[in-house]
A and B are shown apart, each in its own frame.
Chain A
């Protein structure tokens, strides 16, 4: 499989002026600013196959957006290199950006005062999309993203959900080879999210568009991506398939049960029985219902269940699959060593 995106040891430093607090500090920083170098991205390398959807995740401030901005040619890396479809973004920006589509969930790239239809007409000219292809494309985007209801309204009057759909359509008008989506579902309701995910999947499947997706909504990742790259504090901490992540870090399992008599809870002592630390086993009790989280690499699910059933009378029991959210939460909090 040929690679669409190569990222090699990418690094970005920012200079930041440190201001001391108060008026005195302001005056002081005016004359002799103290500068600090902040490394936003610290030697990140990965690659993406043609036609792949890559989930690019990490906690707030991890450097995701900075990487995306370097890949899209907006920022110049301090060192390292990225190459997309054989092109280096910073070298020939105008030609490079013809091949990519970009959506920044946080800001619109539509013209604020124009009717949406006009915006697309402007983009058609800029990207030199032939008439016939343009009409076909608009019909397709209309169908996938349901733009018809608001295509004549000025962009400033659109709701967030409409605007995001409009933005995604704008990024796809020229049939880009690579699509960069920086938090495309931020602040959207469930229905619109579903709609947008469907559109991304459809475009990826039908046109083989390579997609890089950053998001804080892990259902986006679970539904769209097979592979994820996770970064934290500017460094890559995980790169692999989603299933691998579950396998490697999914030791924490959860099961719930309902006690026949609530007082029985006193009889259960998982930590004592299996010699587990607080980190490896925790219980949550709400009246008769009990939720147990434990580290399955230390105790098997079977042992836990049989101990429970032998000790108390249980009305109902439920064993859950590994939750990706739980793993990532632990990774973000650095509870799991990588």
Chain B
């Protein structure tokens, strides 16, 4: 217990620093948020047009109402699990400021984790309740009944947390690539696009050909976004949920271990560019 308290005593200051930095650059965050919301609405209008031009009421088991929930909850999940650690780590490796991090008696990933949680705390608080409330009111108006389900919601929160962990360590691994490539900007565009497609953030995996969907469902990318969203929407049975969250935990562990392995190899060839 004292060990845990000690742990938080060390790393909570990083969260505090994150909050303060966020406040210092609030315009940046507000613009980012607006951009994300606009793109969610674009997805919404695209799907609305798709459904309007189709003679069918449902697509692969999705009604228009499901699709709206899917789009906005995917947006919310994507926003909450977004981790920009890769960029920060990559930059620090390239400009050599990683050196100043290594002279502190802290664990490298924990510093980033707590800093990121701190810097996003306010935005999470600002966006979470409105989106969930908006989606639920919409569902209520369309279907005429309350569809909000507390067990599924709690399981969604659990799955979301694990998804964030996977996203975080995935990006840490990716950030360490800067040790080898020295610059991450170009490849990060590919990474972003691939991730959003493979995780089902653009098109639900259920819409893809069955063999492809089966493969993607198993890959870590589905754990990032598709799994929590499906849980929220009540698309999975409890048995299925248990399996999915188990799979997520497996990927979290895998990413965590991978990041440690890369760090070990990388630190030996660290060359701190410039001075």
Instruction: Write the residues of chain A forming the contact surface with B, with a CB cutoff of 8 angstroms.
Output: 14-15, 65, 69, 72-76, 93-95, 97-98, 100, 102, 104, 106-109, 111, 113-114, 118, 121-122, 125-128, 154
Interchain CB contact under 8 A, B272 and A69:
yes
Beta-carbon contact of B9 and A74 below 8 Å: no
Residue B219 interfacial (CB < 8 Å)? no
Contact B24 A154 (CB under 8 A): yes
By the criterion CB–CB under 8 Å, are A97 and B275 in contact? no
Q: How far is the CB of B93 from chain A (nearest CB, A)?
A: 12
Q: Are A125 and B9 in contact (CB under 8 A)?
A: yes
With A97-B103, A125-B12, A125-B13 known as contacts, the answer to whether A113 contacts B270 (CB < 8 A) is no
Q: How far is the CA of A264 from the CA of B13 in the complex (A)?
A: 75
Q: Are A107 and B17 in contact (CB under 8 A)?
A: no
A65 to B16, CA, bound (A): 32
Which residues of A have CB within 8 Å of B268? 76
21 A-B pairs, CB-CB below 8 angstroms?
A69-B99, A69-B272, A73-B102, A73-B103, A74-B102, A93-B102, A97-B102, A100-B103, A102-B103, A113-B20, A113-B25, A114-B17, A114-B21, A122-B16, A125-B9, A125-B10, A125-B13, A126-B10, A127-B105, A128-B9, A154-B24
CB neighbours of A114 from chain B (8 A): 17, 20-21
Taking the closest CB of chain B, its distance from the CB of A97, in whole angstroms, is 5
Q: Is the CB of B13 within 8 A of A76?
A: no
User: Would you call A94 and B24 a contact (CB within 8 A)?
Assistant: no
B96 within 8 A of A: yes
A interface footprint on B260-274 (CB within 8 Å = 1, 0 otherwise): 000000011111100
In the A-B complex, list the 10 residue pairs whose CB atoms are closest, starting with the nearest: A109-B100, A122-B13, A113-B21, A106-B275, A102-B103, A125-B13, A113-B24, A98-B105, A94-B105, A74-B102
CB pair B103 A126 closer than 8 Å: no
- By the criterion CB–CB under 8 Å, are B275 and A111 in contact? no
Q: What are the residues of chain A within 8 A of B272 when measuring CB–CB?
A: 69, 74-75
A113 to B9, CA, bound (A): 21
Q: How far is the CB of B1 from chain A (nearest CB, A)?
A: 17
Contacts of B271 in A (CB 8 A): 14, 75
In the assembled complex, the Cα of A104 lies from the Cα of B274 at a distance in Å of 12
CA distance A108 to B103 in the complex (A): 12
Q: Report Cα–Cα, A113/B6, bound state, in Å.
A: 25
C-alpha gap A114/B102 in the complex (Å) = 20
Q: State how many angstroms separate the Cβ of B29 from the closest Cβ of chain A.
A: 13
User: B80-118 interface mask toward A, CB cutoff 8 Å, 1 = contact, 0 = none?
Assistant: 000000000000000011011011111100000000000
Taking CB atoms, residues of chain A closer than 8 Å to B251 are none
Q: Decide if B176 is an interface residue (CB 8 Å cutoff).
A: no
Bound Cα distance from A100 to B105, whole angstroms: 10
How many interface contacts (CB-CB < 8 Å) are there between A and B? 77
Q: For A118, list chain B residues within 8 Å (CB).
A: 16-17, 20
Interface of A is mostly: mixed
A73 to B275 CA separation, bound complex (whole angstroms)? 16
Q: Which residues of A contact B97 (CB under 8 A)?
A: 107
Taking the closest CB of chain B, its distance from the CB of A229, in whole angstroms, is 20
Contacts of B105 in A (CB 8 A): 94-95, 97-98, 126-127
Name, among B6, B104, B272, the residue most crowded by chain A CB atoms within 10 Å (CB to CB). Answer: B104
In the complex, chain B residues 216-275 whose Cβ is within 8 Å of any chain A Cβ:
267-272, 275
Contact partners of A75 in chain B: CB under 8 A: 270-272
**Docked pose: A100 CA to B103 CA in angstroms:** 8
> Does B10 contact A94, Cβ atoms closer than 8 Å?
no
Q: Which residue of A lies closest to B22 (CB)?
A: A113
CB distance from A40 to the nearest CB of B (A): 9
Q: Which residue of A lies closest to B8 (CB)?
A: A125
Instruction: Select which of B16, B24, B103 is within 8 A of A74 by beta carbon.
Output: B103
Name the residue of chain A whose CB is nearest to the CB of B115.
A111
Q: Tell me if B156 counts as interface (CB < 8 A to partner A).
A: no
Does B14 count as interface, using CB distance less than 8 angstroms? Answer: yes
Pairwise interchain contact A97-B10, C-beta atoms closer than 8 A: no
Q: Could you tell me the distance between the alpha carbons of A16 and B104 in the complex, rounded to whole angstroms?
A: 28
Q: Which residues of the other chain, B, contact A111 by a CB distance below 8 angstroms?
A: 17, 21
Contact of B13 among A15, A98, A126 (CB under 8 A): A126
Which residues of chain A have C-beta atoms less than 8 A from B9's C-beta?
A: 125, 128
Alpha-carbon separation in the docked complex, A281 to B107 (Å):
59
Pair A65/B275 contact, Cβ less than 8 Å: yes
Q: From residue B20, how far is it (CB to closest CB) to chain A in Å? A: 6
Q: With A97-B105, A126-B106 in contact, is A104–B13 under 8 Å at CB? A: no
The interface residues of chain B lying within 8 Å CB-to-CB of A73 are 102-103
Q: Which residues of A contact B12 (CB under 8 A)?
A: 125
Assess the A104–B107 pair: CB atoms within 8 A.
no
CB B199 to nearest CB in A, in angstroms, measures: 30
Q: How far is the CB of A287 from chain B (nearest CB, A)?
A: 44
Considering the chains assembled together, what is the distance between the CA atoms of A154 and B24 in angstroms? Answer: 10
Write out the residue numbers on chain B whose beta carbons fall within 8 Å of the beta carbon of A93. 102
In Å, the complex CA distance between A113 and B115 comes to 13
Rounded to whole angstroms, the CA-CA distance of A154 and B21 in the bound complex is 10
Known contacts A108-B100, A114-B21; can you find 6 more A-B pairs with CB under 8 A? A74-B102, A74-B272, A94-B106, A97-B102, A106-B275, A107-B97
Contacts of B275 in A (CB 8 A): 65, 104, 106-107
